[in-house]
Structure 1
Amino acid sequence: MLYLHSVKNLGFMMVSGYIHTLGDSTLDNLYWMLQNFDIKDAKLHSVEGVLQTLADGYKVVSHAYDGFTTQSVLEGDRIGEVLPSGPTKDSYMRERKGSQVVHPLADLEQNVSKAANTPHYIVISVGGNDFRANFQNPWRLLKDIPEIQKRYLQIVEKVRSIPGRNVQPILVLQYRTDANHDPYLIYPLLGIIGVVAMMFHVTCLALLTAPVWIIAGKISIWKGGLAFLTGAVGLHLSRKSIPLSVTKDVFLGKKISMVTLGALMQSFYQPILEQAKKDRIPVLDLSNTFHPYRKLYEHGIEPSQEGGKLIAEGIYHILKHHDFRSESMLYSKSSKNSIYTGVTNKNPSAWRVAYPH
């Protein structure tokens, strides 16, 4: 539930509570709104602007910056480094403190300390830019997943440890990118990764037939046992990145790039959802909210005006309806539903990204 406590303190306006955004352009899509609007309307139609309109009585405080990675959030970074130069960037930079280095977690803690007895909801969306930085290197993209997960969980823990009477984190899962307009060639890359994974799966399955060849007298027991063990271990290890289900789904007629993306997201978010369950943190499941074939994007990977509105509505739904004293919940909105709905985060290992139809 949304608890109302009106206060007035040092330099802060009288509000019921604060909503802090922390992370990347999933929350800070102002630059992309400036492509279509002047600064006043761009701010109004951005994720943070729509959220401010919805959450009447609450103040939205931005600690999210376009292009920031998990490392940027943890260690600080320079604003606007990934944005192309030009008038649009200039307008964005004026709104985002200029081209200086910021430390989002330190700024967040300082803001919370100014109103320590007031509710603070910390909306965390981060990780997408870590993968963007590795798009041209598929091996590194997969290899870096454990480190990105580790940094993500460090961010969550640092937020939870901020002194304050009522500091409540909210996790936002990344959405799938635009399948109609793909300037970064994300889906072709995922297709290549999927093909390699399928070849690996088929090889492992072939090795599992070794007992048959032993019985037929084609290979020795020692060689057959080694082949069988290699196949079993290979399939087990593949579960941590791209599991056998990808190959099964492709044989069932699903698009290889889409099922590969879903599998990677499932693998990436499993330990994060486990931690959310343990800490009773609500989760906005954009992975199952954004439909990759609908017009929700700018430049293939950024939330458009419509996409930003969908994100803001989801955050507001959690603020309004979630009981932060209760268990972790996953909130999403499918194309069949007019409102967000929540399910208990009971079994994170069973969480799946639904195939788009």
Structure 2
Amino acid sequence: MTDRVPPVVDRLLPTDEARDLLALVEDIARREIVPQAAEEEDAGRFPRELFTLLSEAGLLGLPYPSAYGGGDQPYEIYLQVVEELAAARLTVGLGVSVHTLATYALAAHGTEEQRTAHLPAMLGGGQVGAYCLSEPTSGSDAAALRTRAVRDGDGWIVDGTKAWTTHGGIADFYTVMARTGGEGARGITAFLVPGDAEGLSAAPPERKMGLKGSPTTQVHFDGVRIPDALRIGEEGQGFAIALAALDSGRLGVAACAVGVARAALDEAVAHATVRRQFGRPIADFQGLRFLLADMATRVESGRALYLAAARLRDAGRPFVRQAAMAKLHCTDAAMQVTTDAVQVLGGYGYTADFPVERYLREAKVLQIVEGTNQIQRMVIARHLLGPETR
């Protein structure tokens, strides 16, 4: 059985422009993404040509200013685009979210000269970005990173290894956090590193249980020279920049999770209406009807939560706690919905002939990336109770 196109969501969109944008994305998903999704994921192929198409359509710079080639879209609209793409194929939806994350540092903290020089290519020039924070020995404890940048004349020499880098080895640019000072968060600075920089290399992609079309690698920096003009923000500001980027990035992951859950729900509903047991469709059985109702509620509540956080962000109000809640709830919901979808399909759900087993494998990683759900609970608790006492 081939992947199905998830039905159009009944959205309350604020403008005709937003409605036209979502209609465009739905059309691209239907024509260009869904038909090849299962085959390309099985083969572990990253759809670079598709990202070129998305760039040409203006979908890689939606939440950034049009003055630099962006789309001037609020996060409320941008995230619904991400959901739509993830419902068609998570590699695409998450790829757009990661690219947006990688672009954030320069867009929010770069100088006017830096933005003018680099953002147009990053937002609409067919480029794909990567975000380098985690390392083999520092994941959740990101402030313990060891990659170091040392001043050398009018530039910097970067040495170290980053881990779990989405788009590693294929990215055109890397937003890299490196230590320029002492230990801890205040010794970290952000840099923009070109993908073809001498001394930069990527290890073979990790062999993952899902999301196989999206390359995840270690990235090695062996004496990579970076001019000071590619330093983003002030020295020692990098960790604050990294956390701010992740706050917004978590909303992207939440939207991706809702997309995957929605696709799984649609497949489960379709199967329940055609599969017959004991002389009638299994959709007639109350136990299964209640299960599907719970799945649908998780999808809708997840969307409501990420949109509420997005509206706070768009209004310039604090949204860190709500972003953590959205990431936590939506990814846990996706894990439950995809598990239930496999159960609805029974033995068929456990086979690769149906997409729900892929959705289940993909949902798991969303509970881990851009801050595990245990970290999200820590963030939420600190906003409720203050820092832990020692």
Which structure would you say has the larger RCO, counting Cα contacts within 8 Å and 6 or more residues apart? 1
Max Rg structure:
1
- The structure where helix makes up a greater share of residues is 2
Q: TM-score, normalised by structure 1?
A: 0.29
TM-score of the superposition, structure 2-length normalised?
A: 0.27
